[in-house]
Structure 1
Amino acid sequence: MHRALEDSEHKGGCNVFRTRLLSGIVLVIAALALIITGGQVLLFGLMAVSIIGLYELYRVFHMERSLLGMIGYAGAFVYYLDLGFPFIPDFEIFALGFLILLMGAYVLSFPDYRVEQVFAGFIGVFYVAVMLSCVYQTRMLAAGRYIVWLIFLCSWGCDTCAYCVGVLIGKHKMAPKLSPKKSIEGAAGGIAGTALLTILYGTAFREQMHLTTASILILAGITAAGGGISMVGDLAASAIKRNCNIKDYGTLIPGHGGILDRFDSVIFTAPIIYYLARFLISG
């Protein structure tokens, strides 16, 4: 009986691993196709990903099919449309107009919605759509076809390095209430590992990116900062889930959860890499 139970648990663990591996491979292939192609394909691909992520976030606040949710999806759509085909003269006009629409719906529908739903509707577009759009904006930089991969190196590379170092020497908890397994040693190892991986990456593509030794070191510093910020993104997503008593944002990616579960750190890393690379490398 005990043996049968162990065999069942082993098979279950193998099935979960296989599911995670297969869905991970599909995800990587899709990301490669979008980012290598770039241009409008990447733009509209990110738009779709952002709207799905926004749906997952709005579902946490029970507003995914409400009027506020529809305004949020429309806001994300308009934002990406303007990003690819500029027609709004100032980003502030978009932000203020979007806020006014949300508040108008809140007032005219009162008391159908709670004030936290309005704030979630507004912040959600910036948290998911605007921040994630920096992947596209990074790709459009002069050396963007190479720099854009640093976003994923920061988020996923840092996470892997942090996990390995944490398992080996991690003793001091970084955020015990949010993620008991994360350690300060692991975080430091993740940041150092990210910088080292960037140096290797920059050296490998030195000629294609027209990099000097100083530029490679600057890139390493940029990704080190991005790696640190990626942990904030990971913990922020965990904090929201804990506050709302949910395990995952969705089930779209088998074995991984939803879009926000897989891209929580990328959302925070993308703006850091984009702006630092834009002003320190491409500027």
Structure 2
Amino acid sequence: MKQRIITAIIAIAVFLPFVLIGKLPLVLFTFLLVGIGIFEMFRMRKIPFLSIPGIISLVTVWLMVLPNHYLNITKVEIGLIAVLLYLTYMVFSKNKFTFDDVAFSILAVIYIGTGFHFFIEIRETQLAYLIYSLFIIWATDSGAYFIGRAIGKRKLWPEISPNKTVEGFVGGIISALVVGVLFSVFGYIEWSIGFAFTTIILSIFGQIGDLTESALKRHYDVKDSGRLLPGHGGILDRFDSLIFVWPLLYFIFERFLDLI
């Protein structure tokens, strides 16, 4: 527990300055995060990262996370080019790199790249909402963990994550709502029924993102995605909830901001 808390404090102290600075330093820092994320995915699948598919994936995910105004090519076009390169390598490798590996690689790039793309997009337009998303997900994770340990009895989804409980799931949502109210009290956001509903939705999907990573690790029979963060695992272990939340948050505030 002590190691987990110390690691979290250090990680936040490193991460938040890049969020506040934004612009090119944030883009470069994000390149580092997604690069490590792709490495962790390939490691779980047991595909060598120092390989042609690894290079294709790294370059593609870097292009995916860039804001749209940096490029003269769409994300769909980037994905199609990557698929063609993967399939070409499959042929030249004589099926040592299989069609299943192609599917895994492109989905890994989309999964990680899309989440962090919207991380940068939100930072460029709505810093307050990005900070809000970070704190409600950290509150959700902490609330689910501590409340689940304290009073959790009913298993949430034991086939996926045996330690998570229904009580912890609900406790995470309540913790997110408390943090949302605090954001309103200090004037960072204007609280409303719509915003409360948004907070609940993001907290739920954040926990689904966590369960998604748990399902992935269970499928590949690994405890953590990596070992970079003692007590937490890897980059994907730490950002699994946010990878789900950032695209959803961007969509909500782009489409429904006037309603909430």
Secondary structure of 2:156's partner?
strand
Paired with 1:95 and 1:282, the residues of 2 have a C-alpha distance of 33
Offset at residue 147 of structure 1 (A): 0.6
Q: How many residues align structurally?
A: 258
One of 227, 233, 242 as aligned partner of 2:218: 242
**Pick aligned residue for 2:237 from 261, 267, 271:** 261
The counterpart of 1:38, out of the listed 4, 22, 26, is 22
Give me the whole-angstrom Cα distance separating, in 2, the residues matched to 1:73 and 1:134: 18
Query: 1:19-66 CA distances to partner (integer Å, 9 max, x unpaired)?
Result: 433332221011111111112211221121001111111111122222
Indicate the structure (1 or 2) with the bigger Cα radius of gyration. Answer: 1
Checking the alignment, whether the CA contact within 8 Å between 2:67 and 2:117 is kept in structure 1 is no
Q: Which residue of 1 aligns with 2:6?
A: 22
Match of 1:166 in 2: 148
Q: In percent, how many aligned pairs have the same letter?
A: 27
- Residues 160 and 140 (structure 1 numbering): CA distance in 2 closer, same or farther, change over 3 Å? same
Name the counterpart of 1:8: none
Task: Find 1:85's aligned residue among 46, 62, 70.
Answer: 70
The code of the aligned residue for 1:124 comes to: A
3-state SS in 1 of match to 2:54: helix
Q: Distance in 2 between matches of 1:181 and 1:249?
A: 17
- What TM-score, normalized by structure 2, do the two folds share? 0.90
The answer to whether the 8 A contact 1:158-1:193 is kept is yes
Aligned to 1:52: 36
- Equivalent in 156, 160, 164 of residue 138 of structure 2: 156
Q: Is the 8 A contact 2:67 2:120 kept in 1?
A: no
Distance 1:33 1:82 in 2: 20
- CA deviation after TM superposition for structure 1 residue 87, in Å: 1.6
- Give ranges in structure 2 of 5+ residues lacking alignment: none
The corresponding residue for 2:168 is: 186
Give the aligned residue type for 2:129: I
CA contact (8 A) 1:72 1:122 kept: yes
Structure 1 residues 191 and 136, CA gap change in structure 2 (3 angstroms): same
1:34 alignment partner, SS class: helix
Q: 1:255 to 1:193 in 2, by over 3 A?
A: closer
Please list every run of 5 or more consecutive structure 1 residues that lacks an aligned counterpart in the other structure.
1-16
* SS of alignment partner, residue 164 of structure 2: strand
Mapped pair 1:278 → 2:260: no
Matches of 1:18 and 1:171 in 2, distance apart? 24
Secondary structure in 2 aligned to 1:95?
helix
How far residue 254 of structure 1 moved from its aligned partner, in angstroms, is 2.4
State the Cα distance separating 1:282 from its structure 2 match.
Answer: 7.1
SS in structure 1 opposite 2:237?
Answer: helix
CA shift, 1:82, in A, is 5.6
Q: Deviations over 1:183-218 (max 9, x none)?
A: 222212211321232122123124xx5x3x43xx32
The correspondence for 1:74, drawn from 56, 59, 64, is 59
Q: Is the 8 A contact 2:65 2:120 kept in 1?
A: no
TM-score, scaled relative to structure 1: 0.84
2:89 and 2:219 mapped to 1: Cα distance? Answer: 26
Q: Aligned equivalents of 1:167 and 1:247: distance in 2?
A: 20
* 1:227 is the counterpart of 2:209: no
CA contact (8 A) 1:222 1:277 kept: no
82 and 100 in structure 1: CA distance in 2 versus 1, 3 angstrom threshold: farther
